[in-house]
Amino acid sequence: MKNSTLVKKYILGEGSLSQLISVIKPKRINKNSFVVFCIDHFFENHNLRENLPVEHNDLILFIDTTDEPKAEYIDQLVQRVKKFKSNLPCSIVGIGGGSTLDISKIISILLTNPGRAQNYQGWDLVKNKAVFKIGVPTIAGTGAEFTRTAVVTSKIKKLGINSDQSVFDQVILDPNLLKTVPKDQFFFTAMDCFVHNVESLRGSQNDELTIAFAEKSLEMMRDVFFRKMNYEKLMVASVMGGISIANSNVGICHPLSYGLSLVLGLHHGFAICIAFNQLEEYYPEVKEFRDFLKKSEIELPKIINEKITQDQIEKMADATLKNEKPLENAFGKKWMDIFTKEKVISLIKKM
Ligand code: NAD
Ligand code: ZN
């Protein structure tokens, strides 16, 4: 049984971003105090900045999320913070999707722990307390705002920094921030939450709490996509899906998506949709997922075409099969006998 950690404080509601100032103010204890704002680059040309309590000696880092978080990029950002001032910031504020939130978590860790991002990929490797950090999601679905992991890709692996130090000290959930997300991206990230819930419920490593969160989260997603769009509800569904998955485990879809992301560089939510669409023999919810697609007028392209080599497909299959724990969650201890490399390749070829 896991000893679970949760975010201690959150503010939820339209316009809650305006309360960021009251959270930061007590942290600014003297004239050297400064805040690092890590903001998704989308907002560089939007007027979000005017609504932020930025002071003259704060540092704003616009985060390039063209690619998902790379360890080297985060190391460079940490150096920029260290060069900016010799003292530690009094707070890090991450404003963006899963990528920006994870990057701000890792910056907060690397400012008080020696070495580079890749040194902490794994479980409970962080020794020192991280800098106080606030997460402000601007897109809903990953659950990164509430989990104890920060996903990062180094040269060798895509693996989270799983640590209590990866948990935000404060989260601000302002549904108004979702309004600018492009339709396709909105859908792909939301479906990450849908799949988290399905994998958590259909696995063997869940418990009454993760089941309760996943079931409620699924119900809210159905409301949002089939009845009435409600950004606040979707944000809460994302949080609940995140708590559920963080305390149970993913299943078959996430390992397949990691292969797609690693070899073809596909973004997480998109890779999840591509993989999940081919898993109807394992998850009856695929039928419902296709209704989500139809309702949102999203067409998934064919990813595996004549340009993809056999070698690339093999690499994707190998990357998939490295995820022992999720596959055991889905199939049981003898997962290797059921989910063979041939089977994985046949699924990938359909994507
Ligand atoms: P993202 O952060 O990668 O952003 C996707 C795109 O949406 C970017 O182009 C970004 O600029 C844009 N965007 C974000 N907010 C916007 C807004 N309000 N308006 C307009 N554009 C906006 O997307 P994501 O799907 O939230 O995050 C994916 C990442 O999250 C992956 O790296 C994945 O591994 C990670 N993840 C982390 C956890 C965790 O628990 N830490 C869980 C699941 C996934
Ligand atoms: Zn996911």
pLDDT tens for the chain, residues 1 to 351 = 888 889 999 999 999 999 999 999 999 999 999 999 999 999 998 888 888 999 999 999 999 999 999 999 999 999 999 999 999 999 999 999 999 999 999 999 999 999 999 999 999 999 999 999 999 999 999 999 999 999 999 887 888 999 999 999 999 999 999 999 999 999 999 999 999 999 999 999 999 999 999 999 999 999 999 999 999 999 999 999 999 999 999 999 999 999 999 999 999 999 999 999 999 999 999 999 999 999 999 999 999 999 999 999 999 999 999 999 999 999 999 999 999 999 999 999 999
Distance CA 286, CA 243 (A): 22
Domain boundary among 151, 180, 209: 180
Residue given tokens 């890749």 in the structure block: 118
User: For ligand 1, what atom is nearest to the CA of residue 192?
Assistant: 43
Residue 136 falls within a domain, yes or no?
yes
Q: What tens digit of pLDDT does each residue of 306-345 get?
A: 999 999 999 999 999 999 999 999 999 999 999 999 999 9
Number of domains in the chain: 2
Q: Are residues 191 and 304 in the same domain?
A: yes
- For residue 73, CA distances in Å to 68, 69, 70, 106 come to 10, 7, 5, 11
Residue 61 falls within a domain, yes or no?
yes
Ligand (nearest to CA of 48): 1
Q: Are residues 196 and 257 in the same domain?
A: yes
Ligand (nearest to CA of 143): 1
Q: Are residues 75 and 175 in the same domain?
A: yes
- For residue 201, CA distances in Å to 232, 241, 322 come to 23, 11, 22
HSE (CB half, 13 Å, CA atoms) of 214?
25
Residue of the CA atom closest to atom 5 of ligand 1: 97
Domain boundary among 122, 152, 180: 180
Structural domain including 165 reads 9-180
The tokens for 260 are: 């797609």
Q: Are residues 127 and 27 in the same domain?
A: yes
Residue of the CA atom closest to atom 2 of ligand 1: 97
Distance CA 257, CA 336 (A): 18
58 lines ligand 1 (CB under 6 A): no
Q: Are residues 45 and 136 in the same domain?
A: yes
257 lines ligand 1 (CB under 6 A): no
Distance CA 208, CA 230 (A): 27
Q: Are residues 165 and 241 in the same domain?
A: no
96 lines ligand 1 (CB under 6 A): yes
- Centre of ligand 2 to C-alpha 12, Å, is 22
- Centre of ligand 2 to C-alpha 53, Å, is 31
Residue 4 falls within a domain, yes or no?
no
- Centre of ligand 2 to C-alpha 142, Å, is 6
CA angle 180/185/190 to nearest 5° reads 100
Q: Are residues 134 and 199 in the same domain?
A: no
- Centre of ligand 1 to C-alpha 338, Å, is 33
The number of helix segments (H) and strand segments (E) in the chain equals 13, 9
Residue of the CA atom closest to atom 4 of ligand 1: 97
The tokens for 340 are: 């063979």
- φ, ψ for residue 235, nearest 5 deg: -60, -40
The tokens for 209 are: 């709490």
- Centre of ligand 2 to C-alpha 164, Å, is 19
Domain boundary among 180, 210, 231: 180
Q: Are residues 172 and 198 in the same domain?
A: no
| CATH code (residue 294) | 1.20.1090.10
Q: Are residues 252 and 333 in the same domain?
A: yes
For 205-236, b/e burial (b = at least 16 CB within 10 A) is: bbeeebeebbebbbebbeebbeeeeebbbbbb
Residue given tokens 């950090």 in the structure block: 133
